[in-house]
Amino acid sequence: MKIALVGKFGEGDILTGPERMARELFYALKNKKVQVVFIEYFFSGYNKSNLYKKLFGKELLENVFVVRLGIFPLLLFLIREKFEIIHIVNLQRFILFIFFFKSFFNSKLTATLHGFLRLELPQKNSWIKRYFIDLWIEKLIILKCKLLVFPSQLLFNTFNKYYNIAKRKYVIIPNGISEIFKSQNINFPLIEKSLRIIFYNGFIEATRERLKELIKSLEKVNYKIELYVIGEKGKAISSINLDIVYIGQLSHRELFNFLSDKHFVIKSGAFDTFSIFVAECMLAGVIPIVNQNVGISEFIQHEVNGFLYNNSDSDDLSKLLNKIFERNYDLELISNNAKNIYAKLNWNSITENYIESFKSISN
């Protein structure tokens, strides 16, 4: 089976969740001796990107198994190589040309969907930023792809309300967790004066909007909290019970080291289709606190390997944190149970699911 993964591979070590998933899937397929190539584009913001390269450029990376191509070399490459499967690993605008010339490839198109743009894209400056292109591509993916991969039941249910997707056309495969977070056995840190909580203030604007709401909830807690906000830099802020420390974006290795003395990772009420970040924190022994708007909640049992709170009740989160601080739970046991998520979300198992799904449509 000859497979092309198409999307954004990314530059450097600081990646979005969909970029991280794309890399991990590529390497996992290579480890299983699958004939796979990763194809990406000369994205704006890349060091060597310019108009000429966006149209005609070609650059070989990762021992020629990762190729960065302009639009015309991309189309010629797909026609020449005759891939059985072209799998869209994350939604990028250059993919539109693949749909335009689909009839020339004689390949089956598949895709992993990481979010529902109809809900997630901001309305502000939508025409200026050409978000209509992203929505168009999302719809083409639903209509034209042979197989759709959703990382959570939550995301599939959201899409299915709008598109009524046939059962034979989709599969639910969660995102995997990088093995680096399993490489050391971190013990749950002692809670002394305060709870140390992590919040990922990431690349999605809807997530960033929820930080203010989270702070309001944390200020209702009767005990001291240290909130570490990953994703942007800023000055530390202190109030009566809440200290806020802003941390910039972290690489995989930096994040792993950062997690070693933290107690909890928290997700706000923003819709999140899976959250690789929370899953990686769990593998390091950091206890998740999430609500049902987050796809990773499908892997969390309340008071067993994490905590679930009711997002519709504005006081539920603060009540839960007060209970935690009052030592009503065996947190070391819950932390150890959280680490067991690797049994379900290791890339070896996830990749086997992808391979079986590809085989099911290649026959």
- Does the pLDDT value for residue 290 go beyond 60? yes
Furthest-apart CA pair in the chain: how many Å? 65
CATH code for position 290: 3.40.50.2000
pLDDT of residue 202: 66
Query: In angstroms, rounded to a whole number, what is the distance separating the alpha carbons of residues 358 and 89?
Result: 13
In terms of domains, do 226 and 351 share one? Answer: no
Task: Write the pLDDT tens digit of every residue in 309-338.
Answer: 998 888 899 999 999 988 779 999 999 999
Task: Report, as an integer, the average pLDDT of 74-85.
Answer: 96
In terms of domains, do 223 and 287 share one? Answer: yes
pLDDT of residue 285: 92
In terms of domains, do 39 and 167 share one? Answer: yes
Inter-axis angle of helices 276-283 and 331-339, nearest 10: 120
Task: Write the pLDDT tens digit of every residue in 143-191.
Answer: 999 999 999 999 999 999 999 999 899 999 999 998 877 766 678 888 8
In terms of domains, do 230 and 147 share one? Answer: no
pLDDT of residue 204: 52
In terms of domains, do 111 and 22 share one? Answer: yes
In terms of domains, do 302 and 216 share one? Answer: yes
Give the end-to-end CA distance of the chain in Å, rounded to a whole number.
10
pLDDT of residue 363: 64
In terms of domains, do 199 and 240 share one? Answer: yes
Close Cβ partners of 170 (under 8 Å, ≥ 6 residues apart): 147, 148, 149, 150, 156
Which range of residues forms the domain containing residue 335? 180-344
Task: Write the pLDDT tens digit of every residue in 141-152.
Answer: 999 999 999 999
> To the nearest whole number, what is the mean pLDDT of the chain?
89
In terms of domains, do 78 and 112 share one? Answer: yes
In terms of domains, do 96 and 226 share one? Answer: no
pLDDT of residue 124: 62
pLDDT above 70 as % of the chain: 93
Task: Write the pLDDT tens digit of every residue in 88-116.
Answer: 999 999 999 999 999 998 899 999 999 88
- Does the pLDDT value for residue 207 go beyond 60? no
- Structural domains in the chain (count): 2
Q: In what order do the strands lie in the sheet with 307-308?
A: 237-238, 242-247, 225-230, 195-200, 264-266, 287-290, 307-308
In terms of domains, do 203 and 245 share one? Answer: yes
Confidence band of 126 (pLDDT split at 50, 70, 90): low
In terms of domains, do 206 and 339 share one? Answer: yes
Query: In angstroms, rounded to a whole number, what is the distance separating the alpha carbons of residues 16 and 10?
Result: 9
pLDDT above 90 as % of the chain: 61
* Length of the chain, in residues: 363
In terms of domains, do 18 and 37 share one? Answer: yes
